[in-house]
Structure 1
Amino acid sequence: MIEKQQNNPLHGLSLDTMVTELVDFYDWKVLYAALRLECFNLNPSMEATIKFLKKTEWARERVESFYLYRFKRMPKGSMAQLELKPRARGFADGIAPRKPQTLTVELVAEMREKAAADYQSMKKMNRGAPRFAKDKPKQQDGYVQNRSSGAKRSAPSQDPKNPWGK
């Protein structure tokens, strides 16, 4: 019985074909600006880029994600899908790739600046406030126990015969 393949534009696509499509559409300079991989900047050639991407898994995953979400403009998946490697992700049936996103070096620089500014404003809004419930101090009968300080002591005992809380 033949299993139904995942709806993924990367299924059956070789790395050589993917990089060729990206270079033909965007050019080496735009790919370097968007992905920040030196194989697109220093003496870029198809052979050297393919060799680097085959040896370096994190760089290959970055290029595959770029191909999926910028070039093919597939919809972002759930958090569970985003934790998977790009080749293992699937999309719902009937979702077709769209036209590639037009990028220039200047547009990529603007997008990076905006993302950095958004990140800084988010950090300023959340400064001082604990991000997770585990970081918030617990109140126990007037005694605050800070779990993030690393101290693994219990609250003092309320028993006058046992002042050490053991």
Structure 2
Amino acid sequence: MSHPQPNNPLHGVTLEKMLVELSESYGWDGLAQHIDVRCFSNDPSIKSCLRFFRQTPWARAKLESLYLHHLQEGGSAPGRRG
């Protein structure tokens, strides 16, 4: 059973949503500057990035950190449009 997590800004946010929102905000080149991984700089796609981040915990942690920073800077929050 799932429990509400009101203090967890990542609760309910899928990896795909993070990637889509960040790629729209920063672009692939911008993401590659923030997180130095080949899936951002070598023929990037949501599908290839999803595969990489699901299999690479250290990189996923960096992506989640960047997403949280993005939210603090005024990016779209879960449940908000924009």
TM-score by length of 2: 0.81
Alpha carbons of structure 1 residues 47 and 7: separation in structure 2 relative to 1, 3 Å? same
Tell me if 1:18 matches 2:30. no
Q: Which amino acid in 2 is paired with 1:38?
A: R
Alpha carbons of structure 1 residues 56 and 4: separation in structure 2 relative to 1, 3 Å? closer
How many residues align structurally?
A: 74
Once residues 9 and 26 of structure 1 are traced to their aligned partners in structure 2, the CA distance between those partners, rounded to angstroms, is 20
Q: CA RMSD in A?
A: 1.7
TM-score by length of 1: 0.42
Alpha carbons of structure 1 residues 4 and 12: separation in structure 2 relative to 1, 3 Å? closer
Alpha carbons of structure 1 residues 37 and 7: separation in structure 2 relative to 1, 3 Å? same
Aligned to 1:38: 38
Alpha carbons of structure 1 residues 3 and 27: separation in structure 2 relative to 1, 3 Å? closer
The structure that is helix-richer by fraction is 2
Tell me if 1:28 matches 2:28. yes
Moved over 6 A (4+): none
Once residues 30 and 22 of structure 2 are traced to their aligned partners in structure 1, the CA distance between those partners, rounded to angstroms, is 10
Indicate the structure whose relative CO is greater, using CA pairs within 8 Å and at least 6 residues apart: 2
Aligned to 1:78: none
Q: Which amino acid in 1 is paired with 2:12?
A: G
Alpha carbons of structure 1 residues 10 and 3: separation in structure 2 relative to 1, 3 Å? closer
Q: Where does structure 1 lack aligned partners over 5 or more consecutive residues?
A: 74-97, 101-166
Structure with the greater alpha carbon radius of gyration: 1
**Offset, 1:5:** 1.8
Q: Where does structure 2 lack aligned partners over 5 or more consecutive residues?
A: 76-82
Once residues 41 and 30 of structure 1 are traced to their aligned partners in structure 2, the CA distance between those partners, rounded to angstroms, is 9
Render the CA deviation track for 1:31-77: whole Å, top value 9, x for unaligned.
001111211001101100000000111111110011112x012xxxx
